A and B are shown apart, each in its own frame.
Chain A
Amino acid sequence: MTEGTHGGGYKIYFTVWFWLLVITLLEIGMVLVRVPKALLVFSLITLALMKAALIMAYFMHLRYERLNLIYAVVTPMFFLAIVLFAMVGPDALHVFRSR
């Protein structure tokens, strides 16, 4: 990455830091007020993915890299998620049902 592609001082890092903090507090809050389990799991995973996206895009500067580097890093994650959920997931549930 060359200088100046994301100029404008350090403000962006403060903004990202602030939102990461807000999301974390939201996560802890949801656990403390005992949101129903299914909703809790869904929201927590969504919020975690949002935090991950913020960190990768701004802290790791991935947003400012060439598109092929972004693809090289992000596509394996999708395949990983598919493999884990589609192949390992049913296995875990199967053991549960066979009890």
Chain B
Amino acid sequence: MAHEAIDQERVVASPWGGGQSPFAVGWPKLMMWLFLVSDTLTFAGLLAGYGVMRISLGRWPVQSEIFNLWLVGAMTFILICSSATMAVAVSASKRGDRPRVIPFLLLTAFGGMLFLAGQYYEWSHFIHEGARLFANPWGIPQFSATFFITTGFHGGHVTGGVIYLLITALRWTRGRIQPESIEIAGLYWHFVDLVWVFIFTLLYLI
């Protein structure tokens, strides 16, 4: 009997026994990672749908003649910068460098807002030129449909991210959260940047 009890203890203490964290991260962070993996599928679905339509149609408008590549480049630059400032905010909160946390969090949220302003300008320009969800002057309805739906989903994620960052900053100033929460918000924000890398490449450049 004593022998069995020792075995039981050993099982629980093993990484997969339930007695400890097998991934060596807290559960909130693990849940965020799992959410990000599943959210990847959302965008993979959108981008795959875009790819199938574009390849099966065999013709597509020349994007660089329709979109302002410099504006999109600037938006990409802003998002990369905001990802870097987020990384600094996370690192500062972890190493106890408190004065840096809030400025860099707010800088990140500001970067997100600038990106959204750029997207607003781009969308309104595109709509002004006659693009609609299922129709546009370039004769390929799928062109504007995939554009609006994919960048719209991404813009929605950025909007949610800005709100998430502002709430996180507020909760941090009130001392309600640990550095881990800032790290988790950071994971989400970097993911938004990561998705933009692929949207920028596939929708605008290729």
Contacts and interface: CB of A to CB of B under 8 A. Distances in A.
Contacts of B91: 10, 13
A13 B52 contact: no
B41 A68 contact: no
B206 A41 contact: yes
Contacts of B52: 88, 91-92
A13 B87 contact: yes
Contacts of B186: 59-60
A21 B197 CA distance: 11
Contact of B201 (A27, A77, A84, A91): A27
Given A10-B91, A17-B81, A28 B58 contact: no
Please tell me the size bucket of the interface on B. 35 or more
B52 to A, nearest CB: 4
Interface string A14-31: 101100110010011011
B198 A52 contact: yes
Contacts of B202: 48
Interface in B112-165: none
Contacts of B190: 55-56, 59-60
Given A69-B24, A69-B25, A92-B55, A84 B205 contact: no
A21 to B, nearest CB: 6
A47 B201 contact: yes
B64 interface: yes
B166 interface: no
Interface string B86-128: 1110011011000000000000000000000000000000000
Interface in B34-66: 36-37, 40-41, 44, 48, 51-52, 55-56, 58, 64
Interface of B: 22-25, 30, 33, 36-37, 40-41, 44, 48, 51-52, 55-56, 58, 64, 69, 73, 76-77, 80-81, 83-84, 86-88, 91-92, 94-95, 183, 186-187, 190-191, 193-194, 197-198, 200-202, 205-206
Interface of A: 1, 3, 10, 13-14, 16-17, 20-21, 24, 27-28, 30-32, 40-41, 44-45, 47-48, 51-52, 55-56, 58-61, 65-66, 68-69, 72-73, 76-77, 80, 84, 88-89, 91-93, 95-96, 99
Given A59-B84, A76-B37, 12 more contacts: A3-B94, A17-B80, A44-B206, A52-B198, A55-B190, A59-B86, A59-B190, A65-B23, A80-B40, A80-B41, A80-B44, A93-B55
